[in-house]
Every structure is written in C-alpha cells, then in structure tokens.
Amino acid sequence: MENKNANISQILITEEEITNRVKEIAAKITNDYKNALKPPCMIGLLKGSYVFMADLLRLIDLPVEVDFIVVSSYGNEMIGSEVRILKDAFLSLEGRDIIIIEDIIDTGCTLEKICDHLKTRSPSSLKICTLLNKPSRRKVDIKIDYNCFDIDDLFIVGYGIDYAQKYRNLPYIGVVEK
C-alpha cells in the first residue's frame, strides 16, 4: 500500500497542539463577544478555512452567524494581485461585528482587499482570526486579532490547507517537501 502522506517531511504542528490552541482562541472570542447585542458574523474564506472554522465554531459558547466568501486572486508579486470575489457573504453585515476566519495569512494582500470590501458594508467592527500566520512574508499591514500560530516561510498542508487539492484531511500541519 502506498503511503498517502509520502510528501510530508515533518509534522510542524500536531493535532493536539491545534486542538488546544483552537480551544484558547474560542474562549477569547466567547469572552470578547459575551455582551454583544447581536451574534457576531463569522465569515470563512474558502476553501482552506473550513476545517479550522468548524472546530472553532463548535467551541464558541455563544450564538454566532456563519457565512463564507470565495475569492480568486491572480497576478504577480511585482504588480500585485487582483482579487475577484466569486461568492460574497449573503448575510446583512451593516452594524454587525464581523470576524473573518482565515486558514493562513501570507503576504496579506488578498486579505487586505477582502477587508476593504467588507468595510463597504458598514460593519460595526471587523476582526481577523487565523490559524496560521507567516509574518516574514507580509507585504501589507494587517492587524490579526486572534492568531493560533506564527510559522516560518514553509510550504505546509493539513487541517484544511491543501497542495493540489490533496492533504486537506490531515489532522495536523505538515511540511511538504518540494
């Protein structure tokens, strides 16, 4: 039988480490919004965020509303990337607290454009929650309100993050050999 994870050179963040950190972040979000008049809107960026978002939502001990955004970004580093929204959030966001759920923040360029887009819908607040953060790759200033892990500039997969649509189902974050 072929090893389905043959390209994984190491486990960077274990399933247990992820579980523990997601519990901590969920507790922070619960505390931050416990007195909110309306449930916060959790907006996941698909596809990579769905595993993290599902686990996080189940641990938040208050009502929340859920929606998703699908974007396509293309371009090159010299010119920058153009972000196209393929599926926008359906919920009414005016006067609402929004938390964007992201799998990984790299340069921050796509996320910056998504934040600018969501701000046009007049939310009362806009926060960012990410599983992984690569600060060494940042090209724009992004304030991360809830961050599970800072990582080095590695090519990673697992826990919703893919390589050619594979490895999303891994319960850990692994490093892929190029």
Q: Would you state the pLDDT for residue 73?
A: 73
Q: Would you state the pLDDT for residue 2?
A: 43
Give 84's pLDDT tier (boundaries 50, 70, 90): confident
Catalytically active residues, by annotation: 106
Q: How many Å apart are CA 62 and CA 33, to the nearest integer?
A: 8
Greater confidence, 71 or 62?
Answer: 62
Task: Please name each of the domains of the chain with its CATH number.
Answer: 15-153 (3.40.50.2020)
- What's the token pair of residue 175? 């490093």
Alpha helices in 14-126 (DSSP H): 15-33, 50-59, 109-119
Q: Would you state the pLDDT for residue 83?
A: 80
How many CA atoms lie less than 13 Å away from 6 in the CB half-sphere? Answer: 4
Q: Which of 178, 173, 166, 176 is nearest to 11 (CA)?
A: 173
Q: Give the global pTM.
A: 0.91
The predicted model gives 81-100 an average pLDDT of 90
